[in-house]
Structure 1
Amino acid sequence: MYDLHKLRLLRELKLRGTVTAVAEALSYSPSTVSQHLAQLESQVGVKLMEQVGRRLVLTPAADVLIAHTEAVMTQLERAEADMAATRTGAVGLLRVGAFQTVALGLVPLMLTTLREQHPGLRVEVGHLEERQAQAAVLARDFDLVVTEDFPGHPVPARQGLHDDTLRQDGLRLAVRSNVAGLNDQQGPAAAKDFPWVMEPEGTTARAWASTLCREAGFEPDVRFEATDVLFHRQLVIEGQAAALLPDLLWRTAPPPPGLLRLSEPLGERRIFTSVRSGSERHPAIVAARSALLAAARERA
């Protein structure tokens, strides 16, 4: 019978990309990880890894084995959830990852609810960008992550994850009031001559925003890049840039006088949670998702 521990190391290599990253994440030495992987390859009897230049690449046989490993780990997640359900209430440790607007707008309300309803549950929260979120929960760095997708740029369903939508969040153009002729018919073209602040290249938010501007007939002059939406907001307030900002931001930071937003949203992003398949019935996961959903409804 294959060693589940070694199978998990192979799975971690697929998720994290390098033996060094696997070793750092699991507190092993790289040589120990390599030794265990070599032993697994010998036991399986087929090539699982190939050296391509400086990179270690997994073979198709490794992908087949990892798929079976995912199924086993999902079943173990279900077993853990069922055992946790035999206890009274949600207890233990829950690690939550969230991006900035959710961390500002929803997480504090979630924490208040969980503290009142589940005092035996310890919740730890970390900041995560959308690009990192699903890989982080699969790698067991977090138990639940909150992430997002944008109109025309959905996050593909990923094996080993259970997703649940929290809310749809309107996206609007934000500019200082000295932009002449701002109206809903113009859309983002109202600020076509302005400098823009956007998220960095490679993010879903940037791809959506760039596409929206191009469909409106212009190429945005992106002078400022940051994942920090509070920085976006401040540049808009100071009249330095135009931005496309989500409604959730304004639930905790009301727009100041002189800041204009289109009355009609330019689209909606989907905010959703991801957990490892099989863990969705775990009392701590159920409690956290319920508290986040209540927070999303209150902020609506």
Structure 2
Amino acid sequence: MLNVHRLTILRELARRGTLAEVARVLNYSPSAVSHQLARLEKEAGVPLLEPVGRGVKLTDAARLLVARTDEVLTVLDRAEAELAASSPRVSGTLRVTAFHSALASILPTALTLVRARHPELQVEVFHREIGPAFDGLAAHLYDLVIGDQWPDEPDPVRPGMERQELFTDPLLLVTPSDWPGPEPLSTLAEAPWAIDPEYLPGGRWVRRMLGDAGIVPKVLCDTDDPLLQAHLVRTGHAVAVIPSLLVGTFLDQTRAQALPGSPARLLYTAVREGQTGHPAVRAFRAALASAARRESPEI
């Protein structure tokens, strides 16, 4: 019988193209990936890989297997969800990925609520950016992604996944409290900025927004950590665009104001379609919605 986990590795090879990239995504060594694929080939009884230079490519038989793997995994997800729903208690382990500001704000409240409501449910949390988070969700490394979508950025949720919106989170211009204000963007052309890296959606959006205002930002600190950005503003070293989710303790001794047009990012959760009815997913989403109502400035 074909091993489902090895089918997943073959599917990742079809997506990634190289054994090294599969190993990176799945947190394996390349030799371990090769070993698992060799065992799958033995189970299948037909060649699945062909050498090409220093790499490999999938055979026609392998591509047939990959075409069916998503169907198999969705059915297994649904079967797992149905079995879990037959129990009167919500239990097991739920693997959740989240980004910085969610980790620092709504997630702790959600974890407290889950512990009180469902003491037999264990939640494991992984800090991942949006690309690796969805890679891991597709590869069954994680069960739920807490994500954010910035203005004018493409929807990162992939086919075969289900998205549930949490709330919109206004984006604020934050300056040190002893600076004169409010500050129109035009006066900040020479200011030092703390900004997300350009390869992240937030970093791309802030640079576009400033560019539309005729500003090429002088970047003091290129960091994906909004708490570090907030600290640099608080200590008088930089200005930044920071989500309102962090207003409060993290932005004391700063001045926050709305940006032109009142832009906002959208927070959501995403799971594989076969897991939408899983009791653990539903319980965690309910706790997260309760936490959002407490923490969100929009709710």
TM-score interval (norm. to shorter) = 0.7 to 0.9
Cα offsets for 1:94-127 (capped at 9, x unmatched): 1111111111111111111111111111111121
Distance in 2 (alpha carbons) for counterparts of 1:245 and 1:57:
44
Deviation at 1:164, TM superposition (A): 1.1
List aligned pairs for 1:230-269, cutoff 5 A. Answer: 230-251=227-248, 253-257=249-253, 259-263=254-258, 266-269=262-265
The letter of the residue matching 2:38 is Q
Gaps of 5+ in 1: none
2:276 to 266, 276, 280: 280
Do structure 1's residue 204 and structure 2's residue 201 form an aligned pair? yes
Q: Which amino acid aligns with 1:262?
A: Q
> Residues 159, 41 of structure 1: CA spacing in aligned structure 2 closer, same or farther, 3 A cutoff?
farther
* Deviation by residue 1:125-169 (Cα, 9 ceiling, x = unmatched): 121122321111122222112111100003243122111111111
Q: What is the CA-CA distance between 1:55 and the residue it aligns to?
A: 4.6
Cα distance in 1 for partners of 2:58, 2:186 equals 47
Q: 1:254 to 1:38 in 2, by over 3 A?
A: closer
Letter in 2 for 1:109: T
Q: Percent of pairs identical after alignment?
A: 34
Match of 1:291 in 2: 287
Indicate whether 1:36 and 2:39 are aligned. Answer: yes
- After TM superposition, give the deviation of residue 17 of structure 1 in Å: 5.6
Q: Residue 15 of structure 1 contacts residue 135 of structure 1 at CA under 8 Å; is this kept in 2?
A: no
| 1:137 and 2:137 correspond | yes
Measured in 1, the distance between the counterparts of 2:182 and 2:216 equals: 18
2:113 aligned partner, one-letter code: T
SS at match of 1:113: helix
Structure 2 residue matching 1:88: 3-state secondary structure: coil
* Structure 1 letter corresponding to 2:244: D
Q: Is the CA contact (8 Å cut-off) linking 2:174 and 2:241 kept in structure 1? A: yes
Contact 1:163–1:274 (Cα < 8 Å) also in 2:
yes
Q: 1:194 aligns with which of 191, 195, 204?
A: 191
Whether the 8 Å contact between 1:50 and 1:57 is mirrored in structure 2 is yes
Tell me by how many angstroms 1:19 deviates: 2.9
Q: 1:213 to 1:40 in 2, by over 3 A?
A: farther
The one of 226, 229, 234 equivalent to 1:229 is 226
Between 5-14 and 113-122, the greater mean CA deviation after superposition: 5-14
Query: What is the alpha-carbon distance in structure 1 between the residues aligned to residue 91 and residue 159 of structure 2?
Result: 27
**What residue is the counterpart of 2:182 in the other structure?**
182
Report the counterpart of residue 158 of structure 2 in structure 1: 158
8 Å CA contact 1:133–1:145 kept in 2: the answer is: yes
Q: Aligned pair 1:122/2:122, yes or no? A: yes
Counting matched residue pairs gives: 292
Partners in 2 of 1:42 and 1:231 — Cα distance? Answer: 54
TM normalised by structure 1 equals 0.86
How far apart are 1:7 and its partner, in Å?
2.3
Helix, strand or coil: the match of 1:201?
coil
TM-score normalised per structure 2: 0.86
1:102-121 matches, within 5 Å, as: 102-121=102-121
Q: SS in structure 1 opposite 2:141?
A: coil
Rounded Cα–Cα distance in structure 2 between residues aligned with 1:261 and 1:96: 31
Q: 1:174 to 1:19 in 2, by over 3 A?
A: same
